[in-house]
Structure formats: structure tokens, C-alpha cells
């Protein structure tokens, strides 16, 4: 008799624990978040290759949940985006110009072992639709999707290695000139050359999926995967600005005529600390109807 009694007792405790009422949150919430992942300036480098770089973000936000499932959220996020570009060895291109005497001249550039790092700093405002599915424990699974408007705070480029050799071809004379440093036709180490790139505001599609972990009655953590995809070109206009000009000056890939479109995209992990300000209720048990 003892064994069946123990089994019935264990079953009763298990059902009681499973049938406990968890609580859900509704109303207003505020949060602070940090993210880390692949945050890239995406563009096609017609002169070589481009690789995605790392990035991180910090944000603050506010949300309002009408009921246990549905809510809206917005906030302010600060994020950096990085890309690494390299050129094919002995990559050549030509600028058509005139020299100081007014003679037409084709300036030929040959890049060797040239690499560049591009970094953009953005501030974004999201507008997200959120869905939560609460578990009996009071924790929850959630998903969110929406749009972000991203504003440029600054963008830089820097050459991390490489050198350039310039020669000049004068079509009127049918002559090629090289190794004359006084005229700019020589070889130069371009490592360390840097500058800024001008971008415009952009829109991004955004999603997030994750887990809500209750810590205290009015606070909780969320752990999630996120992704953002730029919907329009960051470049203000497409121009014919060359990558290099005046024999030695370097203008950076994202703003040059070697690139047509630049877009933002990112994917990574995010953690958020949330404080619940108002509202809430109890979740129905398995034996109750809503």
C-alpha cells in the first residue's frame, strides 16, 4: 500500500505545481540593452573583395503591452558597423585629367597589397510589433518585427596596408612617363591614409526572437537573436569620384566610383534588462478557461 500511496502523492504534487498560476505583464516597460554580432557596411567591391566585420550596440527603449501577448516598442539605439576591403594585387585604374600645363593626361594607378577598413556609427529609432507567449513559470518566449530609421553619426575609412605606383600617359604625345617624383609619377606607401565618408539616413527591416526570464516581480531579462537589413542606399548620390586623385590622395571605397550601393545589415545576440512599470495579471491554468 505504501508504494501506490507514494505514487499518487507524487502525481498530485506534480499536477499542483504544473497547474500553478503564472503571471504575465502588460502596460508600460522601460529597458536598457547591449548587443554584439556581425554589423556590416555591405557593398560590392568591384576592385577586389569585402568581408563583414564585428559591431556592437547599446540602446534604451520603452514598450507598451495591451495584453499578455501583443505590444509595441520603440527607443534609441547606437550601433557601429565595420567592413574590411582588399584589392586584387596589381589592381589598376585610370583617371582622366589635365596636367599643370593644361595637357590631357591619363594618370594610371596600380595598387599593391592594399587593404581598407570602413567603420560607420549610426543612431536608430525602431518601431516594433511584439508578441509574447507566457509559460506556466511566468517566463516567456517572444518575437518582434518592424522597421528602424537609422541616422548617420559619422563614418571613417583607413588604409591598413598597401602602396600605389602612378604613371602618366599623354595621348597627344603618345608617351608614357614614370619614375619622375617631381611630377607625381612614382611609388608611395599609402598605409595610414584615412578620411570620412558622408552618408544619408536609411530604413532597415528588423526582427528579434528570444526568451524572457523573470528575475523579480517587476523586472526581467531577455536573451535574443536579432537581425537588421538595410532597405535603401546609404550613399547620398552616385558620383564619379575616383578612389585616388591628385596622384596620391585616397578617397575611400564607400564614396568612390568603384562602389554603387552601400547598405547596412547585422545579425547577432542581444541582452536586455527590463523594468515593468504598470499592469499585469495571472495566467489561466490548464483547468481554467480564459
- Per-residue confidence (pLDDT) for residue 12, from 0 to 100: 43
The pLDDT > 70 percentage for the chain reads: 87
- Domains in the chain: how many in total? 1
Pairing of strands 175-177, 104-134: unpaired
pLDDT category at 215 given cuts 50, 70, 90 is: confident
CA distance 131 to 282: 17
Distances (CA, A) of 6 to 1, 17, 149: 9, 17, 61
The pLDDT > 90 percentage for the chain reads: 54
Range of the domain at 110: 24-282
More confident residue, 30 or 217: 30
Helix ranges, the chain (H): 2-18
More confident residue, 102 or 123: 123
Q: What CATH number does the domain containing 189 carry?
A: 2.40.160.20
- φ and ψ of 18, to 5 deg: -70, -30
DSSP for 37-52 reads: EEEEEE---TTEEEEE
In a domain, 289, yes or no: no
In a domain, 17, yes or no: no
In a domain, 234, yes or no: yes
Range in 17-26, 41-50, 166-175, 261-270 with the lowest mean pLDDT: 17-26
In a domain, 288, yes or no: no
pLDDT category at 81 given cuts 50, 70, 90 is: very high
Residue 75 predicted with pLDDT over 60? yes
Cβ neighbours of 161 (radius 10 Å): 14
Q: Of 105-114, 154-163, 165-174, 240-249, give the range with the top mean pLDDT.
A: 154-163
Using a cut of 0.75, tell me whether the model's pTM lies above it. yes
Average per-residue pLDDT in the chain? 85
In a domain, 18, yes or no: no
- Per-residue confidence (pLDDT) for residue 184, from 0 to 100: 77
In a domain, 118, yes or no: yes
In a domain, 10, yes or no: no
Range in 40-44, 70-74, 254-258, 276-280 with the lowest mean pLDDT: 276-280
Place of cell 604625345: 173
pLDDT category at 204 given cuts 50, 70, 90 is: very high
Q: Is 3 exposed, middle or buried (0-12, 13-18, 19+ CB in 10 A)?
A: exposed
Residue 288 predicted with pLDDT over 80? no
pLDDT digits (tens, 9 = 90+) for 13-68: 333 333 345 567 788 999 999 999 999 999 999 888 999 999 999 999 999 999 88
In a domain, 290, yes or no: no
Residue 181 predicted with pLDDT over 70? yes
Amino acid at each position: 500500500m505504501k508504494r501506490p500511496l507514494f505514487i499518487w502523492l507524487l502525481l498530485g504534487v506534480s499536477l499542483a505545481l504544473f497547474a500553478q498560476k503564472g503571471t504575465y505583464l502588460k502596460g508600460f516597460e522601460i529597458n536598457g540593452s547591449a548587443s554584439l554580432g556581425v554589423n556590416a557596411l555591405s557593398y560590392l567591391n568591384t576592385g577586389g573583395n569585402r568581408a563583414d566585420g564585428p559591431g556592437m550596440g547599446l540602446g534604451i527603449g520603452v514598450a507598451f503591452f495591451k495584453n499578455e501577448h501583443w505590444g509595441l516598442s520603440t527607443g534609441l539605439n547606437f550601433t557601429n558597423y565595420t567592413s574590411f576591403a582588399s584589392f586584387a594585387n596589381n589592381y589598376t585604374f585610370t583617371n582622366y585629367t589635365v596636367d599643370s600645363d593644361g595637357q590631357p593626361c591619363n594618370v594610371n594607378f596600380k595598387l599593391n597589397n592594399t587593404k581598407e577598413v570602413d567603420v560607420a556609427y549610426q543612431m536608430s529609432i525602431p518601431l516594433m510589433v511584439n508578441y509574447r507567449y507566457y509559460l506556466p513559470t511566468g517566463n516567456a518566449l517572444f518575437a518582434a518585427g518592424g522597421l528602424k530609421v537609422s541616422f548617420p553619426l559619422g563614418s571613417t575609412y583607413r588604409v591598413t596596408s598597401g602602396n600605389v605606383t602612378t604613371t602618366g600617359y599623354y595621348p597627344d604625345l603618345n608617351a608614357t612617363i614614370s619614375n619622375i617624383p617631381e611630377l607625381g609619377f612614382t611609388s608611395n606607401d599609402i598605409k595610414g591614409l584615412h578620411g570620412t565618408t558622408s552618408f544619408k539616413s536609411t530604413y532597415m527591416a528588423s526582427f528579434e526572437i528570444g526568451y524572457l526570464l523573470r528575475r523579480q516581480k517587476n523586472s526581467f531579462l531577455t536573451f535574443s537573436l536579432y537581425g537588421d537589413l538595410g532597405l535603401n542606399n546609404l550613399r547620398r548620390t552616385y558620383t564619379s569620384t575616383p578612389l585616388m586623385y591628385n596622384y596620391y590622395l585616397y578617397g575611400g571605397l564607400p564614396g568612390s566610383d568603384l562602389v554603387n550601393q552601400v547598405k547596412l545589415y547585422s545579425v547577432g545576440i542581444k541582452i536586455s534588462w527590463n523594468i515593468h512599470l504598470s499592469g499585469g495579471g495571472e495566467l489561466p491554468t490548464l483547468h481554467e478557461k480564459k
